[in-house]
Copies of this chain bind each other. A is one copy, B any other.
Amino acid sequence: MARAWHLESRPKGMPTTDNFALKPIDLREPGKGELRIANRWLSVDPYMRGRMNDVKSYVPPFELGAPMQGGAIGEVVESNADGFAVGDMVQHMAGWRDEAVVKASDVQKLPPLDVEPQAFLGQLGMPGITGFFGLTAVAEAKEGEVVFVSAAAGAVGSTVVQIAKARGMTVIGSAGGKEKCDWVRSLGADAMIDYKSDTPLIKALMEAAPDGIDVYFDNVGGDHLDAAFACANQGARFAICGMIDKYNVGAPTELRYLPRLIGNRIRVQGFIVSDYLSRAGEFYEEAAKLLQAGKLRREETVVEGLENMPDAFLGLFSGKNRGKMLVKL
């Protein structure tokens, strides 16, 4: 019998495994235009924390007592829809479960790139598209500029680092711990800041970027954002993609260097990947070239088994992942 993780209670602050319950779900037969899909890979993403709150946002909140959702890659095991055959690998949003019956119109076949299917949940999916358009369209980062990327060892950040390097920028990243920093350096970052070290972040960034930063790609918020304000050059652009720092904390963001926004004409722009999905082709064109040239590398942190999905999710907030966090079924 199919099973799905249900939201049992809304977390206050940091979620715990008690907020989730794995329960059987009753799958109907696929109706006309529907597919039955056996999931192979489940996506684990920071934004899911927002959906656990009962707050109107850019994605609707998860319903209490109902199965949760999220990105997933699966195999068609029963097709009642034209154009889909048993064995097709597809991407869809009925994650957090092992099997689903889904409308074919809510399902995408995987793009024809020669990579493992789970890559389409990470670097070659939403996180990659987020990084590409955040850097190039939102922040308008240009060759020769200095780019600071927080959470640079994450799925989004590690893609930003490599695209920025391929486009001729100087890249400074931040990550937690020596191992992650070494890995991002191996991807091409010119300097790395270990935010778990004793050096205050602002001091570390000033040392890593003695001529200041022109672009900040923010996955973190909080003290990273403040350090970016402290070091931003004239006309700097900040692309604000996530604030994982704040997802579990009610405390306000404290910004000491915010007034530099004025004198330095800084532009801060929030964005959501869905605004750029219609232009995803531009990303795949550049990604294909970079992949072929060996300039777009990725890592995955894989947790095995549906029953470990909540642990994988909680691991995002303690920095357990290098690259994309995935659950393999």
Chain A residues at the B interface, C-beta cutoff of 8 Å: 50, 57-58, 221, 226, 240-243, 246-247, 252-256, 258-272, 275
Tell me whether B272 and A262 are in contact (CB under 8 A): yes
In angstroms, Cα B226 to Cα A221, docked, is: 15
In angstroms, Cα B243 to Cα A313, docked, is: 39
In angstroms, Cα B259 to Cα A264, docked, is: 22
Contact of A254 among B243, B253, B270 (CB under 8 A): B253
Give the oligomeric copy count: 2
Tell me whether B261 and A270 are in contact (CB under 8 A): yes
Q: Which residues of B contact A243 (CB under 8 A)?
A: 258-259, 262
Q: Which residues of B contact A262 (CB under 8 A)?
A: 58, 240-243, 270-272
CB of A254 to closest CB in B, whole Å: 4
Q: Which residues of B contact A267 (CB under 8 A)?
A: 267-270
Tell me whether B261 and A272 are in contact (CB under 8 A): no
In angstroms, Cα B255 to Cα A243, docked, is: 13
Q: Which residues of B contact A246 (CB under 8 A)?
A: 258-259
Contact of A265 among B252, B266, B270 (CB under 8 A): B270
Q: What are 11 A-B pairs with beta-carbon distances under 8 A?
A: A50-B263, A58-B263, A58-B264, A240-B261, A246-B259, A252-B255, A263-B272, A264-B270, A265-B275, A266-B269, A267-B267
